[in-house]
Structure formats: structure tokens, C-alpha cells
Structure 1
């Protein structure tokens, strides 16, 4: 089928409160979220679902469904992000986490990394004071207090600048973020990549907390508890970059094989914790150990954490990361100690 996807920008503009709107017409918010990010391809959606979304947005099916448009990813050189849920350039990207899972560290690291690539960061101050935000302000180029200030700063920087804009969920609920996106769209400003986060942590209990998103990074409590950072859930995080033909097929194949391995590894891990690894069949022991190695490899030292971790930050470009993981999946590193793969960059 021709490459198709939902017009997420239109949905965001026309139906700001998509969660309640979806429920009101009998749609599951989780289904709508997965359609927006591409986790469920449009080609596999029920016809009634697409029609209901078009009715909610008061648009035609031709307006709701985009054909052939390319979605660009921003390569962060952070392994877990680039593999499982690539950052969507010019899109809206949501972080779903409880406090203490590392979302602010991820943001600070992205500010640092993307600044090297010429990006400029703007943060809209949260509506409620959160002392922990002070820890990342050193990495932000500009802080603004209102949506109007944000708009003026973006316009001042101009079309030729790639901009990272960050806001707390409180500004989403009252429609401020949507108003900003609408104003930017009207003047043809498409160089702004938006991050939305919820510093209260309440976001984890909702299916569609920010409205339509191009990328969702779901943070994982178990990974955070075991100090395996970045604690990005490899099974629940997703991006519209993964949909259709937007991603290189080799990348997509490695991503899918990695998810399959980690899904089984997580199932086996719960058994191993209770009964021990010796109770697993030989074939499952191999799966378990490869999953353990892959999980370790996906940890990564961050530049902004160097003073606290004592580890030098590491970049891993996409081709290198994919080749490392291919070899790991194929068994080339079956003799490697798990600890030797933890908090490294590429495999030397």
C-alpha cells in the first residue's frame, strides 16, 4: 500500500483535547495514540476509527491521511533513543515518566548534544515551581515565562535556526501549546521541535496525556530502579519515524529483532528471579543472556552526568550502533561479560 500516515498536526490543531473527544465517540485513547505515532499503521486501522477521527477534526479523509510525506529523524547518538523511538524533527515529542526516572537528565543531555549541531533551546517555565528544573537551566539557551514570549523569541531567531522548545504539561492542558503551534504554522515556521514533559508524573496514568504526538518516550521504572540509564522502555516507546518508509529497512529490521529479544528476555527474567537460570531450557538460556547483554549495551554514559558518574560521555552514530546490535543479536558477543557492555559507547 502507498505510504500513508495520519496528519497529526491537523489533529492536534482541530482536536486539542483528543483524549476526551476520542472517548466521547467510542474510541480507545491508546488506539488513537498508537495511530498518531505509527505504532499502529493507518493501513491496519478500522475504517470506522479513521472516519470517527475525521469527524472529530471536521475534515475530509484526504485531509486526515497524508501520503508519501517524509518524516525526518534527528540523530541524537543516544543508542536507546535512535534505535527504538527516533526523535522527530519539527514534530512534538512527549516524555512519559514519574519523578526520578531521569527525564530531566535526558533533556539536559539532548540540549548539550543538539547545541553542538547548531540547535538553540528555549524552555517555557512550568506553571508550578519545580526546584529540580534548576539543574538543567545551565544547558538551556533561553528561558521564557509566557507563550507570547516564546513566540517572540522563536520569531526573533528566525527560519534559519533549528529550535528545541520545551514545555511542561500544564501549558498543554490550557491550550497554550496548541495556540503557539497554530501561530507558528500560520507564518510557515517549521523548524521548531517540541518536547513536552510532566514534572508531576501524573502523565503515566493516562493513555493520551499530551494529545497527538510524533514521538513518545515511555520511561521504565524497572530500568530506573536497576540504574540502567537512559531508562527508555524499548517496548512502549515509539515514533512516527518508524512508520511506513520513513526508516531505513535495515534499521527497522534491527529494531524489531531487538524488541522481540527484549520482550522475551523480560518474560524470562521474571522466571529467573524466582527459580534461577538453571531451570531454563538451554535455548532459552541463550535468549536470556543475549537479552541481558543487549540491555547492558543500551545503557550509555552522558556528557552532562560526567561530574557525578565519573564516566566520559559517549556518542554512537547510527551505523555503528546498528552493526553492534546486529552482531550481538547474531551471537558474535555471546562470550562477552555483561558488565563489559554496560555504560560504554560502541563495542571496541
Structure 2
């Protein structure tokens, strides 16, 4: 119905302007009274109306210079870049800013003007009445109401590339290692779209870390995400540093925080095609294991990985890992009996299970390279194939004659044998 009214309006308007229209000619000729086909008639009138309207349309008035009430010149109407606002309220790290014009979008970075140190605010919420609520990226001491704030028109941007290797930066991309600014022309915003699903690799591979308990029982997926949970405890930082030393040292990746670190890491992934390991927040720790003096303090029974599948790891790795977990679980089930009745009440098979489980527990310990200055023991990197073969030998009973203390804080099985021989010589002497 609306389309019919529109065509009727176009027709009447065009007929009024047409010199051959019956409405404008009191004596129409015979030719003018001839009726053409309705389709061609309507199309011709519509084209004529559009042409005449375009010819009569006046040009838009020139726009005047844009700016804010505070004198800031807006260079981008959408983001409000260049606009100047003023601080209205400061509540700890939360700062409210009012803009007369050029309201910044959410996640835009604002910079406080005339401040002793560079203070960046990130827009988190629009409050209405040209006011935004922001989060300060640094302390707000000395910030007062009325202080001017510049709209940068973009998110927080940080330097990326090889100039950042081995350097330390804060959340806004400033160097904090007293080695001067970053010598790079490559900068990226910390808020970017994630890679599309079709751009992600479909092949599942494990990331070998050189840490026995991780590689054997809870392998990391290359390109995946790892959740490592735990409260304040023992050895979190040491374990993170060991992973950095073993996995990421070759191409200089270092631990960063939040989106700033993610931006730096993604540049090496996207621009240079490198494998990047990014660490954020806590690592797992198990209090009972740490109380036994076994480090890294990872619970081998509660730690899981979706990579632990025979289709991904292979039959040998999978069977060895499940065999280790089975022995440890059986030992856990026997602990109550041992606590009440003692070892003497166990059957011979149970005694053998307990002995192998205690050796496996100690064999899961490992000296770290980054802890050499504290422990005095050289760090050990254990290859995945060696770890599988060593633990399979323990399960098969090849090392039942070795004392369990020889399995503590060593690398491969060769070190276990050498340590057992040393213990035997010391005992004989």
C-alpha cells in the first residue's frame, strides 16, 4: 500500500511539471491523449522526477570548524579524537570525565594533561550527559577536578616487534627497565579482534616443556590455553620461570600481563610466525605434595589435559601415563589402611604397589635451571621420550631394587642409577 501511494505521488508530481501533461494544457492534442503502456509510463515519470529533483537540489552548506568548548580540535568525528574534557570526579582508580563534544567510545584511551607523570585513563562506561567513567592505569594521587583530559581517539597502544625482546614494559607500553624507550615503529592496540576460527590450526600437537610431570601426565597443547589454578603457595614463580627458560628462551619471549602482553605475543605469532608462550597470573600448586618436599608441587591425579588421548599422544605415552596414575591412585586408596594398621598388614602385591608409587612420586620431582642459585643443584631438562621410557621401566619393575631416595630430584633414569650406586658406596663405607 505504501509503494502504491509513493508511485501515485511521483506520478502526480511529474505530471504537474510536464509541458505535455493534460493538467497543464487546456487543449490536449490527440497524440497527448494516447495512453502508453502503464509500465513504461511509470518508469519514464520516475526517471524524470529523479533527474529534476537532483538538478534542483541545492548544495549543502559549508560546515564550520569543529572543536570543543575547551578549545580542543576534533580531527575524527566518530572517535572524538582531539577533544578536551575535564575531570569531574575521582574515586580511587575510577575517574569520571565530562566532554562537551567528541564523546570517546568505550575502550578509548584518554591522557591527563598537565600532570607530573603520564596518566592514561581507559573509558569503561558512558554515564550520560556527555560524561564517561574511566579506569586509571596508574595512581591518581594529585588528580583534581577540572583538570583537562585529552581524547586520543584510539585504544591503549603498545610497541611490538623485536625491539621489545628482553625488555620490560608496563601496561601502557612504557619501558620500565631503565634501558631507554623502545626503538621501534611498530605499535598495536591492545583491543583487537581474535583470529577467525578458520584461521586457527586444526592439527593437535603437544608443547614439550622438559618438565616430567607436565609432559607425561598433563601435556600442554600447542596453540591452546592452559588453566593452572592454585592459591598463594610454593614455587609458582619458579615453575613459570622454568617454563620460560625451557620453552620460550630460544626466541626471547617473556612473561607479560594482561592484554599488553597478549598484544606483544600476538605480533610474533602473526607477523613472524613464531611459537609464543604467554604466561598470565597463577600456576598450579598442591599443598600436600609440597609438604612432602616434592617440587614442582603438581598433583598428578587431579591435573588433567584433553591432550591425554592415544589418538594424539600415541599408545606408548598414553598407556604409560595411565599406568602411572593407576599406581598412584591405588597407593592413595591404601593410605588409610597403612595409617591404621601399618605396612605389615598389606599383601605382597600391595606392598609392591606402595613401593613403586613412592618411587614414582619422587621421580616426578625435578631440579630447575632457574633455581640453581637457591638449591645448588644443576637444573635438568628431560626429553619426552626419555620420560616415557623411564616411567615405563618403573611400572615394569626394572628398578625395584633401587632405593626410593635415588629417584628424588633427578632428571632421567640414568641419573637415578648413578645416584643409587653412589648411595650404595656411601652405605658400604
Query: What's the TM-score bracket when you normalise by the shorter of the two chains?
Result: 0.5 to 0.7
Aligned to 2:277: 164
8 A Cα contact 1:119 1:162, kept in partner: no
- Aligned counterparts, 1:143-182, within 5 A: 147=259, 149-157=260-268, 158-168=271-281
8 A Cα contact 2:207 2:220, kept in partner: yes
Q: What root-mean-square deviation, in Å, do the aligned CA atoms of Structure 1 and Structure 2 show? A: 2.3
Q: CA separation in 1, counterparts of 2:316 and 2:207?
A: 18
Aligned to 2:22: none
Aligned residues: 214
Q: CA separation in 1, counterparts of 2:400 and 2:310?
A: 33
Aligned to 1:74: 207
**3-state DSSP class of the match of 2:228?**
strand
Confirm or deny that 1:282 pairs with 2:348.
yes
**3-state DSSP class of the match of 2:388?**
helix
Q: Deviations over 1:109-138 (max 9, x none)?
A: 1011113443612410xxxxxxxxxxxxxx
- Aligned counterparts, 1:1-348, within 5 A: 69-118=202-251, 120-124=253-257, 147=259, 149-157=260-268, 158-168=271-281, 197=282, 219-243=285-309, 245-348=311-414
CA, structure 1 residues 154+346, in 2 after alignment: closer, same or farther (shift >3 Å)?
A: closer
CA, structure 1 residues 323+264, in 2 after alignment: closer, same or farther (shift >3 Å)?
A: same
Q: CA separation in 1, counterparts of 2:338 and 2:376?
A: 32
Q: Which runs of 5+ in 1 are unaligned?
A: 1-63, 125-145, 169-196, 199-217
**3-state DSSP class of the match of 2:232?**
coil
Query: Which contiguous aligned blocks of 4+ residues in structure 1 show a shift greater than 4 angstroms?
Result: none
Q: CA separation in 1, counterparts of 2:336 and 2:277?
A: 39
Greater Cα radius of gyration, structure 1 or 2: 2
Q: CA separation in 2, counterparts of 1:266 and 1:153?
A: 44
8 A Cα contact 1:121 1:163, kept in partner: no
CA, structure 1 residues 122+329, in 2 after alignment: closer, same or farther (shift >3 Å)?
A: same
Give the TM-score taking structure 1 as reference length.
0.57
Displacement of 1:152: 4.1
Q: Deviations over 1:288-345 (max 9, x none)?
A: 0010111111110001111111111011111111111111101111111111110000
CA, structure 1 residues 152+285, in 2 after alignment: closer, same or farther (shift >3 Å)?
A: closer
Displacement of 1:104: 2.0
Give 1 or 2: higher helix fraction.
1
Displacement of 1:166: 2.1
Q: CA separation in 2, counterparts of 1:338 and 1:93?
A: 32
8 A Cα contact 2:246 2:381, kept in partner: no
CA, structure 1 residues 165+341, in 2 after alignment: closer, same or farther (shift >3 Å)?
A: same
CA, structure 1 residues 334+155, in 2 after alignment: closer, same or farther (shift >3 Å)?
A: closer
Displacement of 1:244: 5.6
Q: CA separation in 2, counterparts of 1:299 and 1:151?
A: 31
**3-state DSSP class of the match of 1:94?**
coil
The higher-RCO structure (CA 8 Å, 6+ apart) is: 1
Displacement of 1:151: 4.8
CA, structure 1 residues 276+151, in 2 after alignment: closer, same or farther (shift >3 Å)?
A: closer
Q: CA separation in 1, counterparts of 2:391 and 2:291?
A: 24
Give the TM-score taking structure 2 as reference length.
0.47
